[in-house]
Structure 1
Amino acid sequence: MNYEQALDYIHSIYKFGSKLGLDNINYLLQLMGNPQQGLKVIHVAGTNGKGSTCAYIRSVLAEQGFRVGLYTSPYLEEFTERIQINGVNIPKENLAEITTFVKEKVELMLSHGKNHPTEFEVVTAIGFEYFKRQKIDYLVLEVGLGGRGDSTNVIDAPLVSVITPIAYDHMDYLGDTLGKIAFEKAGIIKANCPVVTYLQKDEAMEVIEEVSKAVNAPINIAPIKEIELVSYDDSGQCFHGFYGNEKIENLKISMLGEHQIENAAVALAALNILASVHQIPISKKALYDGFMNAKWPGRLEIITRNPTTVIDGAHNVHGMQALAKTIKKLYAEKSMTLVIGILGDKDVEGMLGEIVPLASRIILTKPNNPRAMALDKLAEMIGVYGKTAKKSISISNAIQEALDCSTPDDLIVFCGSLYMIGDVRSILKEKK
């Protein structure tokens, strides 16, 4: 099959839904020769900050000269973004070839009376096969959902298990308390394998510590409280942090938001484990260059100036709090046009409470997803704040309306769903 046929096949599997559990993916991978075995993996779970943390780790290792695979989800603009080596997306012809191979194994699996794998299981299998064929040095592997039953959790012994901030999200799958959610995230912790975690809230921290202790996994809490902010504007940030017991001064990152400094601190702690426990050489130059050059599109990303136009994938309350905090810090003097679209299964009320009070003008649109909240319902919820909102089913029309009603001195913010942000990013880039 060609690339378009491969994508059609992958997306056609969406109808099989999302299932947590490893039986299906293990069976499929076994038929493929277990391509995941032998890969040297940095496994990253959490509610927020997974992608950015992965980006920092990948960037530093690549600066050191290694071939580093990166597996993430979802994608923003191109499906091939999900499977990368050193920042280069999987070539379309490779995706087509490997999808053909995986499809043959899926059909064999079905002939054995097994259930059809989900879309995420198939894509994960494609990723493992690509990374094996390309003989990468390391794989930075982002969990899709949860951890314990996530398809990426088929790996045996990661070099380090990383857990980023845990918050309320996907509660229908993961549980309705931080403890239950943390238990699912902590499922990536393996016996005797080091763990690096963000300094979680007590309820989540206790669970992670219990799981780590039960399997004799050494736990390392990233030194978030020791961070010293040096400078911060909308071109980037500079801070002092720690790399093991060593103070790293004037580390610069281009990603915006104080939460990105915390994500960087978690990544630093993980990199220190790679160097100190696994003897992977990481130079100071690779650290500084890797953090400065790390990018994670669609997260507090400035697309244009005059007006300042920001896109952010904030899609839960924790993410919206981080976005609101950054707006207050960097753009308090600007009048803001908010363009927002949200999936209906999110904590919409909580998300709106963080961002709507900051907006002078509001435009509603629908992410390209069947779970998108109806605009009438969203408008009704915004009305609680004494504000009215324009409704635009078309994302492109919403963008144009935002540009039309904003002056060069204003701020335009697009947020609410990663599914929307990818479309916004593509359209805005074309308008440049």
Structure 2
Amino acid sequence: MVIRSVANILLSNSLRTVSYNFKQAVEALSGLQSNAEYIRNHVKTNADDNSVKSITIKYLERSGLTLNDLDELSVIHVTGTKGKGTTCALCECILRRSGYRTGFFTSPHLIEVYERIRIDGEPLQRETFAKYFWKVFDELEHKKEHEYDMPHFFSFMTILAFHVFLNEKVDVTILEVGIGGEVDCTNIIRNTCVAGITSLGIDHTNLLGNSLKTIAWHKAGIFKKGCKAFTVPQDKRSMAVLNRRSLEKGCQLNIVKPLEEKISKVINTNMPLEIFRLNAGLAISLANAWVTFNGFPALQNYVVEKAIEKFNWQGRYEIVSINNSRFFMDGAHTSESLEICKDWYLKNTKFSSNIKVLVFNATGDRNVRQFLKILHKCHFQQVYLTPNVAVSKQMDDVKEPIQRCQVFKRAWEELERKTGFKADSISTCVDVSGAFRKILDNNVKKCDVLVTGSIHLVGAALNVINIRKTNDSS
């Protein structure tokens, strides 16, 4: 074990308290094993699934917390393939507007890493994030037994969130699963009051399997004995797995219907109505179940309706105007969600004479050919394939992602040969900034731009939009 003198540790900590440097925190985070690297290594080594949680517990305890400490949190745990972020965000909004102090852990972030941890609906301030970050990071760094003895990125962020929520004394913790459920880092918690499962689909097959049955098995891993469990309607095979798992775990599973149409009238969102109703129905059920579980007064209908009316979740079915062009952004990353995204875009551009433009990327082991086949039906006139990077600083950083984009370009050209419909141009770009520059500066006519395929791509796009707006106003 690396041993440091007490004097050095005290000096280091005293210097750290002088300036909780956010930039250095982000740099230190980037030095941890990334989620993509972790997934590749997990698959390559065929790691024991139980080891994921046991390793997370090891680092949790090194950071100064125990599972008994986590038992103090009152948790709503949510997983699923599609809509879990939206469901969590709306559930949080309802409970916050009902007077409860909320802690919300979500992933991934769109622009800044501190967006993942929220208190009362607001992301941590940079200074606050840095303060908590260095407290946990230094503790883990001091107790390393070898050079690489640190948690990977998502595991660290999960542990950090637990520290924040306990210190901030939240009434309720809304916890969004990273991947799967059964062996996810968030699933070390034991005091789950309410568990929810959103719509299931094929995703992360290298970790969860390539069938809905195996994926459903993993998702249902968040069920705990005695908790109130809910799911939206699923296909019969998935539903059978979820029911069987709920019996194994000792909880009753309830199927939630979509939000009633009479309440849907107050919806103020670009999201397709049927999707919002599905997620909102689950969110309301989770919030109601939590107050009931804890013996609190029932939620007021007017509060729920106000939460729905004011709800906004960035990067999901979002429309932003720049220089008279419209950018339609959604982080769809499964075949099912891309079908919905495609229909949403076509509906909103049906009577538009603007140039149709696609900005696309996809990551991981996803079926990109199927994704492109779905999107090709939009008959885009311009296609830009770009890494999930707002502004690239070094070509080496985007070399591999650009190679993937070139593969996507060949797949798109193959679709053109098969269907007979050709775009006017297909380009690979080194970053999103370069793609947007070509779209906004090179086109005389207005454009309707669809940005999709990855939530990370949408985050990079929002970052570029913020930069352009700042530059335009200065």
Secondary structure, counterpart of 1:13 in structure 2: coil
For residue 268 of structure 1, what is the amino acid of its counterpart?
I
Match of 2:367 among 347, 369, 389: 347
Q: Deviation per CA, 1:153-196, whole angstroms, max 9, x where unpaired? A: 11112121011111111100111111111111110011111111
- Bigger Cα Rg: 2
Is 1:144 aligned to residue 174 of structure 2?
A: no
Change (3 A) 1:101 1:254: same
Q: TM-score, normalised by structure 1?
A: 0.89
For residue 312 of structure 1, what is the amino acid of its counterpart?
D
Is 1:366 aligned to residue 397 of structure 2?
A: no
Q: Which moved more, 1:191-200 or 1:333-342?
A: 333-342
Q: Deviation per CA, 1:2-41, whole angstroms, max 9, x where unpaired? A: 2222221122112672455201111222231234231111
Q: Which moved more, 1:261-270 or 1:162-171?
A: 261-270
Give runs of aligned pairs for residues 284-295 of structure 1, distance below 5 A: 284-295=301-312
Q: Deviation per CA, 1:356-381, whole angstroms, max 9, x where unpaired? A: 22023212212238773622211111
Secondary structure, counterpart of 1:25 in structure 2: helix
Check whether the contact 1:303–1:429 (CA below 8 A) recurs between aligned residues: no
Q: Deviation per CA, 1:190-240, whole angstroms, max 9, x where unpaired? A: 11111111111122111111100122211111113xx56xxxxxxxxxx33
Give runs of aligned pairs for residues 375-390 of structure 1, distance below 5 A: 375-386=405-416, 387-388=422-423, 389-390=426-427
Q: Which moved more, 1:307-316 or 1:367-376?
A: 367-376
Match of 1:161 among 195, 214, 218: 195
Residue equivalent to 1:221: 255
Match of 2:269 among 254, 260, 272: 254
Check whether the contact 1:24–1:115 (CA below 8 A) recurs between aligned residues: no
The whole-number CA distance in structure 1 between the counterparts of 2:138 and 2:346 is: 53
Is 1:128 aligned to residue 162 of structure 2?
A: yes
Is 1:22 aligned to residue 63 of structure 2?
A: no
Change (3 A) 1:336 1:261: farther
- How far off its partner does 1:290 sit? 1.1
Check whether the contact 1:255–1:296 (CA below 8 A) recurs between aligned residues: no
Is 1:79 aligned to residue 113 of structure 2?
A: yes
- How far off its partner does 1:272 sit? 2.6
Change (3 A) 1:321 1:113: same
Q: Quick check: which one's strand share is greater?
A: 1
Q: Deviation per CA, 1:326-372, whole angstroms, max 9, x where unpaired? A: 12333223352111122252210121122122023212212238773
Check whether the contact 2:206–2:365 (CA below 8 A) recurs between aligned residues: no
Is 1:322 aligned to residue 359 of structure 2?
A: no
Secondary structure, counterpart of 1:17 in structure 2: helix
Match of 2:289 among 250, 254, 273: 273
Secondary structure, counterpart of 1:374 in structure 2: helix
Change (3 A) 1:278 1:404: same
Check whether the contact 1:406–1:412 (CA below 8 A) recurs between aligned residues: no
Give runs of aligned pairs for residues 69-218 of structure 1, distance below 5 A: 69-107=103-141, 109-111=143-145, 115-218=149-252
Residue equivalent to 1:33: 65
Q: Deviation per CA, 1:373-418, whole angstroms, max 9, x where unpaired? A: 6222111111122134122222112012222465666421111112
Equivalent residues, number: 413
CA RMSD in angstroms, aligned pairs only:
2.3
Aligned residues: percent identity? Answer: 27
Q: Quick check: which one's helix share is greater?
A: 2
Check whether the contact 1:43–1:140 (CA below 8 A) recurs between aligned residues: yes
For residue 28 of structure 1, what is the amino acid of its counterpart?
Y
The whole-number CA distance in structure 2 between the counterparts of 1:186 and 1:407 is: 52
Match of 1:337 among 336, 351, 357: 357
Q: TM-score, normalised by structure 2?
A: 0.81
The whole-number CA distance in structure 2 between the counterparts of 1:365 and 1:300 is: 20
Check whether the contact 2:230–2:255 (CA below 8 A) recurs between aligned residues: yes
- How far off its partner does 1:110 sit? 3.1
Residue equivalent to 1:49: 83
The whole-number CA distance in structure 1 between the counterparts of 2:434 and 2:147 is: 48
